[in-house]
Chains A and B, each alone.
Chain A
Amino acid sequence: MTAPSPVHRRPMLEINRLEKRFGETRVLTSIDLSVAPGELVFVIGPSGSGKSTMLRCCNRLEEPSSGTILLDGEHVTDCRGAALDRMRLKIGMVFQGFHLYPHKSVLGNVMLAQIRALKRPKAEAKARAMEMLEHVGLAHKADAMPAELSGGQQQRVATARALALDPKVMLFDEPTSALDPELVGSVLKVMRRLRDEGMTMLVVSHEMGFAREAADRVVFMDGGVVVEAGPPEAIFGNPQSDRLKSFLARVSKDEE
């Protein structure tokens, strides 16, 4: 290990030698990945390569088989019980299927964990929820029920729900793959704005155009390992490995 230089900043999220097995099948093999504060890192890779599993290990929805995960220098992997719940408050996650609570209004969705987990006073939680809904352009839907929203709107409410807890990092698992093409733009706009405000983000997505334009770094996973990582120009413009080359060829064919 080299000593950190004075300008070197500690990573916001650091994944070290992460392994995950489901029974006998090994899904992740020695993943090393770190995300600097304010960095937007994109994870791409074929279906079944372990992208979701890696993301879910970061907040321990999936229990890592070995390896460590640190958030802003604190161990995520050592936490238990209430300490793990507190740690999860700092890790925002947006799921592919959104998973809004169907029995609560949009406002109720964004307020619940603020009140019950973060223990914010109700008035403060409400103000913060409205602020976040404003941020994602849905303040006018505060009283709507999730079922009354389009997919893109549900996705943005899910984003607001995570953001309202003031997380240190946001994890997005295929935030646009369940959306009709015309709804994707509104979601990418929110993510672009988050990046501009300095949010640290780890995004699993197949939006190659967005990755090219907005990502600081792109990580290509295949078969549970990180095959290649680098700035988007290098990953898309000058791929080194055959696996990445053939993946990119396949994806660009799909996009046509």
Chain B
Amino acid sequence: MKFLETFFNGAVMAKYLPDLLGAIVTTLWLSAVILALGLSLGLVLACLRCLGRWYLTLPIVAFADIGRALPPLVVILICYFGLPGLGISLSGPAVLILVLAGVLAAFAEEIFWAGLTAVPKGQWEAGRATGLSFARTLFEIALPQAVRLGIPPLVNRALAITKMTALGSVIGVKEILSVSSSAQSFSGSATPLTMAALAYLAIFLPAVILSRALERRFSWAV
């Protein structure tokens, strides 16, 4: 059985399982931090853009457009190998978090903003006419509706960005892909890569299923 030997070698699996479990934990916490930072920064930026001041809107739009246009790998390499030249040395995980959270924030800002512009003007007027301040109307009325509209694209984007933690393998972050590919070269077996694929499935399949539940939870008839 050449296939099983290549992809599911029991001895190799047993040998590298502990390393891989550590890598799974690393991927998980990196993802959690990236999601928390990226989504909240995106939300804050979209709210600031709502104020309609050009000196806020201009840098926000520039950030969102550049963040969405640049390949994350390029930015990761620039930060990891370029910044030390300026005397700023960041660890691999720090670079990965900063860049991926920044990219997620760029996308999230656009998604939240699209949701906010889709909230009918009458909703704002109803809020303001009942004496609610701009901020209250934003947080209590406009934002919940914008978030609801944004949930499906946000979930997709969040999944795409967290999978990019695999890019950490090029800057020495001990996440799933880097641990398994170095195991692959040491052992000469493809089995660690199979394990990596299974690990990604174990993490992201439940996340996808959870996201469906989330979409249902945040939907209401209009």
User: Are the CB atoms of A118 and B141 closer together than 8 Å?
Assistant: no
* In the complex, B126 has a CB within 8 A of chain A: yes
Most chain B CB within a 10 A radius of its CB, from A59, A85, A87, A118: A85
* In the complex, A61 has a CB within 8 A of chain B: yes
Stretch at the interface among A35-43, A109-117, A241-249: A109-117
The distance in angstroms between the C-alpha atoms of A5 and B14, with both chains bound, is: 100
* In the complex, A88 has a CB within 8 A of chain B: yes
Chain B residues with CB below 8 A from A93, complex form? 129
What is the interface of chain B mostly: helix, strand, loop, or mixed? helix
The distance in angstroms between the C-alpha atoms of A101 and B130, with both chains bound, is: 12
A243 to chain B, nearest CB (A): 30
The distance in angstroms between the C-alpha atoms of A113 and B126, with both chains bound, is: 10
* In the complex, A236 has a CB within 8 A of chain B: no
* In the complex, A99 has a CB within 8 A of chain B: yes
User: Are the CB atoms of B222 and A89 closer together than 8 Å?
Assistant: no
User: Are the CB atoms of B132 and A116 closer together than 8 Å?
Assistant: yes
B39 to chain A, nearest CB (A): 19
* In the complex, B131 has a CB within 8 A of chain A: yes
Chain B residues with CB below 8 A from A147, complex form? 220-222
Chain A residues with CB below 8 A from B221, complex form? 102, 145, 147-148
B132 to chain A, nearest CB (A): 5
Which residues 53-69 in A have Cβ within 8 Å of B in the complex?
59, 61
The distance in angstroms between the C-alpha atoms of A176 and B146, with both chains bound, is: 29
* In the complex, B136 has a CB within 8 A of chain A: yes
Chain B's closest residue to A88 (CB) is B131
- Per the CB 8 Å criterion, the residue count for chain B at the interface is 21
State whether A101 and B133 are in contact (beta carbons under 8 Å apart), knowing that A61-B125, A61-B128 are contacts in the complex: no
* In the complex, B165 has a CB within 8 A of chain A: no
Pick from A99, A118, A145: contact of B131, CB below 8 A. A118
A203 to chain B, nearest CB (A): 16
* In the complex, B123 has a CB within 8 A of chain A: yes
Which residues 141-172 in B have Cβ within 8 Å of A in the complex?
141, 144-145, 148
User: Are the CB atoms of A117 and B222 closer together than 8 Å?
Assistant: no
Chain A's closest residue to B132 (CB) is A117
Chain B residues with CB below 8 A from A101, complex form? 123, 126, 141
A-B contact count (CB 8 A): 71
Chain B residues with CB below 8 A from A99, complex form? 120, 122-123, 125-126
* In the complex, B140 has a CB within 8 A of chain A: yes
A79 to chain B, nearest CB (A): 11
Pick from B140, B144, B220: contact of A145, CB below 8 A. B220
The distance in angstroms between the C-alpha atoms of A226 and B7, with both chains bound, is: 85
The distance in angstroms between the C-alpha atoms of A147 and B220, with both chains bound, is: 8
User: Are the CB atoms of B140 and A116 closer together than 8 Å?
Assistant: yes
Chain A residues with CB below 8 A from B130, complex form? 88-89, 112-113, 117, 161-162, 165
Chain A residues with CB below 8 A from B148, complex form? 103
The distance in angstroms between the C-alpha atoms of A165 and B141, with both chains bound, is: 18
Chain A residues with CB below 8 A from B122, complex form? 95, 97, 99
User: Are the CB atoms of A112 and B140 closer together than 8 Å?
Assistant: yes
Chain B residues with CB below 8 A from A103, complex form? 144-145, 148, 220
* In the complex, A21 has a CB within 8 A of chain B: no
The distance in angstroms between the C-alpha atoms of A162 and B127, with both chains bound, is: 11
Which residues 68-109 in A have Cβ within 8 Å of B in the complex?
82, 85-89, 91, 93, 95, 97, 99-103
In addition to A101-B141, A103-B145, A147-B221, 14 A-B residue pairs with Cβ atoms within 8 Å of each other are A89-B130, A95-B126, A99-B123, A101-B123, A102-B220, A112-B130, A112-B132, A112-B140, A113-B127, A113-B130, A113-B131, A116-B136, A117-B133, A118-B131
Q: Sorted from nearest, which 7 A-B pairs have the closest CB atoms?
A: A113-B130, A117-B131, A89-B131, A147-B221, A99-B126, A99-B122, A88-B131
Provide a sorted-by-A list of 14 A–B residue pairs whose CB atoms are within 8 angstroms. A59-B129, A87-B131, A88-B128, A91-B129, A95-B122, A95-B125, A101-B126, A101-B141, A102-B145, A116-B132, A117-B131, A145-B221, A147-B220, A162-B130
Chain B residues with a Cβ under 8 A of chain A: 120, 122-123, 125-133, 136, 140-141, 144-145, 148, 220-222
